[in-house]
Amino acid sequence: MEFVATCPKGFERLLADELSDLRVPQVRPLKGQVSFGGALTDAYRVCLWSRLASRVLAVLARVDARDSDALYDGASSIAWEGHLVPGATFAVDAHGTNAQLRNTQFVALRVKDAIVDRIFAATGVRPLTDTSRPGLTIGARVNGDHATLSVDLAGEPLFRRGYDSRAADGVAPLRPDYAAALLAAGGWRDAVRSGDPALVALWAGQGSVLVEAACAALDRAPGLLRSRWGFAGWAQHDDAIWQALLDEADSRASAGEKNPCSLLVSDDRPGSASACRQALRAAGVALEPTFCPAPEALTVVRSHRGPLVTCDFSWIGAADLAREASALSTASAAAGMGTVALALDATLDAALRSEPCHVTEVIAGRDPATIRRYARRDDVEPPSCVDVAGERVPVLVPASDQFARRLAKVAKLRAKWARREDVTCYRVYDADLPDYAVAIELYEGSETPGRWLQISEYAAPRGVDPEMARRRLLDVLTVAPRVMGVAWRDVSVRVRTRSRGGSQYADEARTPQTRPLRGRRGPQLPGSSRPSRRIELPEGSHLVDEGGLTFEVNFDARHDCGIFLDHRETRSRIREMMKETKGSKRFLNLFAYTGTATCYAADGGAKHTTTVDLSRPSLDWARRNMARNGFDGPEHEFVQADVLAWVAEQRHTRNRWDLIFCDVPTFSNSARMRKASFDVQRDHAELVIGVSRLLVRGGRAIFSCNLRSFRPDVEKLERAGVRLMDITDETIPEDFARNRKIHHAYLVERVERA
């Protein structure tokens, strides 16, 4: 008979080696599958013992599939009445298309029709289909002008072992066949045969790599836990052969219970230890793993003859740079050990100071990844380390020790300044060293203790090696949290690329999370009569203080965290200007984002505020900021609108304001804007003129933007009766003094003509 064992992309060679080790004849690796010949016993043995195969298919025929009629005729030629057990349900699992058969559902339908019609003609009974839990699954794979029809002997995928753990919601699982591939690529089979197998699992997650390693060492067939098989509804199933194989597997499992196997785990993610233990118990494995830091675990297993270190980096997303930096720092302890890793890129090579001896390209989730094997070496140089708070921390780039010293120095000085000025959120470092071109900001919680870092990378100049720039960034993410006393989980990373109008964010470190809102009581401000209120705080958000006010920040879901620290002095100026304002004391905030400037104006005595932004989530955020500080009456309005169009409309009304703040984006092309796009250099004059027309007599506005090369069109503005006064230097906080082009700010006044 002819059989096919399917597998994930990249597993073909590993699976072929496994089948050969099972003494299966005629093994031939193909794309996404491995074919083999032999008797039914061989196919059953693969079902029961393969750790890498996804399904095992018994090939029935290859038929013409030039079009739907040819496929129907070919499928009808098979004696299906001799394959489907009477009364059993079936389903068709179709894969592949061609020019005439462009839909797999249609392929499945035509094959299903052929099967039903054939059996009805032969027996007079029409078989039933069941796509959710069929008694027999028929495979139909279209390739070119032909289709291969087969019986799925496994039924459900073989990687569903029956011990899946869901004990730790925050710890991503590694699918059992991927865990088995990691072990196979690392030579775990040879370690087991040596009689002294020892595994150090770095980031064991929910424990699948431990279960797969232990079962291989204890000679336990991975299919023993399964109670349902695809051949149950197959008329040609030989139960005697199957039962004999099960008896053999039970005997081997009993004999292997006393086999030695050492399992050590290093994974600091909450819940990982309990998930690993639960997975081992669910698999019926009595081994107890040892949990300890990586250096200690590696020291313990060095006495074994062939210890293997596994590194699962699949849980680290492409933008999770803070996690990756922490993981690489841990993995560096495995340098020189026999190591195998599932990783998204080659950065691990630098941490282990070694080139992989073999690389297998695979797919992890939807992303391309590699299984990288590193041979054991005794000549590996010691890692480059930096001293951070008395701790020797491994880094990828030796020159990172200069960054560590510089950051420690400026952080100490900045902390003294912050205490003196009563500032809790501030910029610590701003590309002080050209090669380490990042901005680092510290945020301290107000209502509950907490410290968070936001690290933003500036776009590297052309000519800089991208891989070297990435390694420097990872070193920054290794060093900065330790210097600042912040856990890596509380580090947010933004990677910037050059775009029109300046630097724009390309990636974020964290994925937005949608969770229910939880109630949080707002703080009672010192010396304030405003009552404390219960205000919703979205999951993942935190509260910080600035200028006696409380603001919501979020480092998970947005490019910007909710407050621009470079405008700290600008906001204070707005509060003082509002205190000095007489008359109606009306304030307008355009491009308001989260309404922080509105809060300052209200705190300065504004009797009426208008907050305008195109984003509904930003306006909701602004409402929460205002309400949390006690400003939630009807006198505070929030308007969702295209600011440019809204300003043009308001010029034709009687609405006027005493003080206006307009902090514009550098560039915008939102589909909701009336104009095709907004470019601050091109369009600022028209906007500023419009804003000036919304001022009361003697009113003032502050206009700001962050385009470094911005030049106001003074002549055009003067012709329109608008005076600009550059107040940029007065609005740059001390912690932004290194980067005085962080923004431009101008006082706008309307000149009354004689």
733 and 619: one domain?
yes
Q: Please check whether residue 2 is in contact with residue 148, taking contact to mean a CB–CB distance below 8 angstroms.
A: no
Give dist(CA 18, CA 46) in Å, integer.
9
Give dist(CA 238, CA 250) in Å, integer.
19
CA 30: distance to chain centroid?
Answer: 32
298 and 441: one domain?
no
Of 317, 342, 483, nearest to 414 by C-alpha is: 483
Q: Is residue 417 part of a domain?
A: yes
Q: How many Cα atoms sit within 13 Å of 452 on the Cβ side?
A: 22
435 and 571: one domain?
no
478 and 620: one domain?
no
DSSP for 192-256?
HHTT--EEEEET-TTSHHHHHHHHHHTT--GGGG----GGGGBTT--HHHHHHHHHHHHHHHHHG
Q: In the structure, what pLDDT confidence band is assigned to residue 215 with cuts at 50, 70 and 90?
A: very high
628 and 480: one domain?
no
Give dist(CA 421, CA 729) in Å, integer.
19
Is residue 326 classed as helix, strand or coil in its secondary structure?
A: helix
**CA angle, 556 as apex, 555 and 558 as ends, to 5°?**
80
- Residues 6 or more apart whose CB falls under 8 angstroms from that of 451 comprise 442, 443, 444, 445, 484, 485, 486, 490
Q: At which of 339, 374, 409 does a domain end?
A: 374
Asked if the model's pLDDT at residue 508 lies above 60, the reply is no
Retrieve residue 37's tokens: 């010949």
Asked if the model's pLDDT at residue 353 lies above 70, the reply is yes
Q: At which of 508, 526, 550 does a domain end?
A: 508
Choice between 612 and 667, residue whose per-residue pLDDT is larger: 612
User: Quick one: CA torsion of 96, 98, 101, 104, rounded to 10 degrees?
Assistant: 20
Q: Is residue 365 part of a domain?
A: yes
Give dist(CA 567, CA 743) in Å, integer.
8
- Total count of residues recorded for the chain: 754
Q: What is the pLDDT of residues 283-311, one digit of tens each?
A: 999 999 999 999 999 998 888 877 999 99
Distances (CA, A) of 157 to 43, 122, 228, 230, 634: 15, 32, 11, 10, 60
CA 310: distance to chain centroid?
Answer: 21
Q: Please check whether residue 223 is in contact with residue 231, taking contact to mean a CB–CB distance below 8 angstroms.
A: no
Of 371, 367, 401, 369, nearest to 387 by C-alpha is: 401
- CATH number, domain containing residue 419: 3.30.750.80
Q: Please check whether residue 35 is in contact with residue 43, taking contact to mean a CB–CB distance below 8 angstroms.
A: no
Q: Is residue 460 part of a domain?
A: yes
Give dist(CA 281, CA 278) in Å, integer.
5
Q: Is residue 169 part of a domain?
A: no
Q: Is residue 543 part of a domain?
A: no
Q: Is residue 552 part of a domain?
A: no
Q: Please check whether residue 631 is in contact with residue 596, taking contact to mean a CB–CB distance below 8 angstroms.
A: no
Asked if the model's pLDDT at residue 672 lies above 70, the reply is no
Angle, in degrees to the nearest 10, between helices 466-484 and 321-331: 90
- CATH number, domain containing residue 90: 3.30.2130.30
- The predicted model gives 187-213 an average pLDDT of 94
Q: What is the pLDDT of residues 355-381, one digit of tens each?
A: 999 999 999 988 899 999 999 988 888
Q: At which of 349, 374, 399 does a domain end?
A: 374
pTM of the model: 0.83
Asked if the model's pLDDT at residue 502 lies above 70, the reply is no
How many domains does the chain divide into?
4
Average pLDDT of the chain is: 90
703 and 661: one domain?
yes
Q: What is the pLDDT of residues 433-446, one digit of tens each?
A: 999 999 999 999 99
351 and 400: one domain?
no
Q: Is residue 515 part of a domain?
A: no
197 and 298: one domain?
yes
Asked if the model's pLDDT at residue 519 lies above 60, the reply is no
Provide the pLDDT for residue 496.
66
50 and 145: one domain?
yes
Give dist(CA 554, CA 576) in Å, integer.
28
Q: Tell me the residue range of the domain where 727 lies.
A: 564-750
13 and 70: one domain?
yes
Q: Please check whether residue 376 is in contact with residue 22, taking contact to mean a CB–CB distance below 8 angstroms.
A: no
Q: What is the pLDDT of residues 39-49, one digit of tens each?
A: 999 999 999 99
Q: Is residue 34 part of a domain?
A: yes
- The predicted model gives 729-738 an average pLDDT of 95
Asked if the model's pLDDT at residue 517 lies above 60, the reply is no
Of 664, 657, 663, nearest to 637 by C-alpha is: 657
35 and 88: one domain?
yes
191 and 77: one domain?
no
Amino acid (1-letter code) at residue 93: D
- The predicted model gives 705-711 an average pLDDT of 93
